[in-house]
C-alpha cells in the first residue's frame, strides 16, 4: 500500500469528498486533510463526519493570487500533503501552487474534456446539442483551465428534455465512481503515483 498523503480541496457541497471519504480504505494512501476556500462549505461538515482535519483559507478582498496561493500552500504543508485532489475547488490555482505541487494535482470536471471547459459545462453541453456528456479526471498543469493530462472519463447520455439540473445529477453519480477509481489506481499499488502514471 502506498504511503501517499493526499488532501481534498473544496469550496462547496462536498459530494465528491464524501464519495472519496467513504471509499478511502479502497483508495489507499491517507486522506490526510481537507482545505476549504469557504467557511460556509457543506464539505467541511462532511470532513468532520469523516474525522479528517480541516483548514479554511478564505480569500481576502484585494489579495493577489500569489498571496492567496501562499496561504493555501501553508495549509497543505501543515497537513503534510503529498498530493492535491481538487473536488469542487472554485479558485484558479496560480503558478506558486502549480510549482509547489507540480505533477501532483488532480481535478474533476463535469464534462468530457476538452469539450466544455470552464464555467457552466452542463449548460454548454445542452446548448451544443450533444447526445452524450460526462466527466473527466485530469492532472492540473500550467496553461489552460481544465487542461492537463486526462486520467479517466465517464460518458453519460443526454436526453431530450434534460435541463442543467437533470444532466448535472446524472453526471455527478459517475463523478463519484470515476474519482474513486482513478485515485485508487494512483494510490493503492505499492508503486509511487509517478511510477503508476508512467505506465498509465
Q: Annotated catalytic sites, by residue?
A: 109
Binding segment (CB under 6 A) for ligand GRF, from list 6-14, 91-99, 143-151, 152-160: 6-14
C-alpha grid cell for residue 109?
Answer: 470536471
Closest to ligand GRF by CB, 2 or 19: 19
From the list 161, 158, 157, 136, the residue with the least C-alpha distance to 147 is 136
What 3-state DSSP class applies to 172?
helix
How near is the Cβ of 3 to ligand GRF at its closest, in Å? 26
* Region 99-128 residues binding ligand GRF, contact defined as CB under 6 A: 108-110
From the list 130, 72, 133, 125, the residue with the least C-alpha distance to 101 is 72
**Which stretch of DSSP H or E encloses residue 10?**
strand 5-10
Closest to ligand GRF by CB, 75 or 85: 85
Q: Give 2's contacts (C-beta < 8 A, 6+ positions apart).
A: 28, 29, 187, 188, 189, 190, 191, 192, 193
Q: Give 42's contacts (C-beta < 8 A, 6+ positions apart).
A: 12, 13, 14
Closest to ligand GRF by CB, 14 or 148: 14
How near is the Cβ of 195 to ligand GRF at its closest, in Å? 27
CA atoms within 13 A on the CB side of 11: 10
* Region 146-175 residues binding ligand GRF, contact defined as CB under 6 A: 172, 175
Closest to ligand GRF by CB, 60 or 165: 165
According to CB under 6 A, which one of 57, 72, 87, 105 is a site residue for ligand GRF?
Answer: 87
From the list 156, 104, 101, the residue with the least C-alpha distance to 132 is 156
Site string for ligand GRF, 9-48 (x = CB under 6 A): ---xxxxx--------------------------x-----
Size of the site for ligand GRF (CB under 6 A): 13
Kindly list the residues in this chain that would bind ligand GRF in the complex (CB under 6 A).
12-16, 43, 87-88, 108-110, 172, 175
Amino acid at each position: 500500500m502506498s504511503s501517499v498523503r493526499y488532501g481534498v480541496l473544496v469550496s462547496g457541497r462536498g459530494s465528491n469528498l464524501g464519495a472519496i471519504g467513504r471509499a478511502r480504505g479502497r483508495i489507499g494512501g491517507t486522506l490526510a486533510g481537507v482545505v476549504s476556500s469557504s467557511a460556509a462549505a457543506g464539505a467541511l461538515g462532511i470532513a468532520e463526519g469523516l474525522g479528517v482535519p480541516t483548514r479554511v483559507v478564505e480569500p481576502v478582498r484585494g489579495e493577489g493570487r500569489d498571496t492567496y496561493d501562499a496561504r493555501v500552500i501553508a495549509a497543505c504543508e501543515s497537513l503534510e500533503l503529498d498530493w492535491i485532489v481538487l473536488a469542487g475547488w472554485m479558485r484558479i490555482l496560480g503558478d506558486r501552487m502549480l510549482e509547489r505541487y507540480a505533477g501532483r494535482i488532480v481535478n474533476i470536471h463535469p464534462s468530457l474534456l476538452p469539450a466544455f471547459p470552464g464555467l457552466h459545462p452542463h449548460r454548454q453541453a445542452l446548448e451544443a446539442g450533444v447526445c452524450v456528456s460526462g466527466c473527466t479526471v485530469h492532472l492540473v498543469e500550467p496553461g489552460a483551465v481544465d487542461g492537463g493530462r486526462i486520467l479517466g472519463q465517464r460518458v453519460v447520455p443526454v436526453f431530450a428534455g434534460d435541463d442543467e439540473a437533470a444532466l448535472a445529477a446524472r453526471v455527478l453519480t459517475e463523478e463519484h465512481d470515476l474519482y474513486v477509481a482513478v485515485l485508487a489506481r494512483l494510490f493503492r499499488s505499492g508503486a509511487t503515483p509517478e511510477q503508476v502514471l508512467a505506465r498509465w
